[in-house]
């Protein structure tokens, strides 16, 4: 584990009282000008919202999911969704505060998510979907051991809960990593 990046971190499950802070974090990492501070921005391909309070609360309340919340010095600095789906876990809603991106924090968080999925749920694989045109982000996941599958699902055009697309070629690609 990257000791500098993991210094002072607390991992815990999100609760109802975290919803507003988590929505603000997720939005800041992916949308608008604040997201341009970090490298995970989707501001050039999507406008509008990335998530909303109802979406975050649904993950918190789902019996098969947990929304791992990461704090440093009492402030929420990152989060990720883990969902137990039988023989694999799904990893999503991953956000790191834009001002902390590039310092190794993401690596620490994904390693903890993978550890949980493997040790607590006993699953053999982690799955995630990434917008297929996000080459830099996909390359980051590939360096963590994820592989592209070529399996695509359509982007939900017309459903503004997922943002307002700025191009017409968006789709999600399934990435998979063995956890054994």
The per-residue pLDDT for 36 is: 67
Q: Domain map of the chain by residue range?
A: 6-178
Q: 83: closest CA among 127, 140, 51, 24?
A: 127
As a whole number of angstroms, the distance between CA 85 and CA 88 comes to: 5
The per-residue pLDDT for 69 is: 97
**Across 150-178, average pLDDT:** 89
Residue predicted with more confidence, 54 or 46: 54
Give the model confidence (pLDDT) of 25-51 as tens digits: 998 887 666 666 666 666 677 776 678
E strands present in the chain: 9-13, 46-47, 65-72, 75-85, 88-96, 125-131, 147-154, 164-165, 171-178
pLDDT at position 171 over 90 = yes
Would the CA dihedral through 33, 36, 38, 40 be positive or negative? positive
Q: By the 8 A CB rule, do 98 and 38 touch? A: yes
The per-residue pLDDT for 50 is: 75
88, β-bridge pairs? 85, 125
* CATH architecture, range 6-178: 3-Layer(aba) Sandwich (3.40)
Q: What are phi and psi of 111, to 5 degrees?
A: -65, -40
Banded pLDDT at 72 (limits 50, 70, 90): very high
83, β-bridge pairs? 65, 90
pLDDT at position 1 over 60 = no
């Amino acid at each position: 584990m990257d000791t500098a990046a993991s210094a002072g971190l607390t991992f815990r499950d999100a609760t109802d009282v975290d919803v507003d802070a988590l929505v603000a974090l997720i939005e800041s990492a992916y949308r608008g000008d604040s997201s341009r501070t970090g490298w995970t921005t989707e501001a050039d391909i999507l406008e509008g919202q990335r998530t909303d309070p109802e979406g975050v609360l649904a993950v918190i309340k789902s019996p098969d999911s947990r929304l791992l919340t990461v704090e440093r010095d009492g402030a929420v600095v990152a989060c990720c969704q883990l969902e137990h789906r039988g023989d694999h876990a799904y990893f999503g809603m991953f956000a790191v505060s834009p001002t902390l991106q590039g310092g190794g924090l993401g690596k620490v968080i994904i390693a903890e998510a993978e550890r949980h999925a493997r040790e607590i749920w006993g699953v053999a694989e982690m799955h995630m979907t990434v917008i297929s045109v996000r080459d830099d982000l996909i390359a980051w996941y590939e360096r963590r051991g994820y592989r592209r599958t070529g399996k695509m699902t359509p982007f939900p055009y017309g459903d503004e809960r997922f943002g307002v697309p700025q191009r017409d070629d968006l789709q999600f690609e399934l990435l998979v990593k063995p956890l054994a």
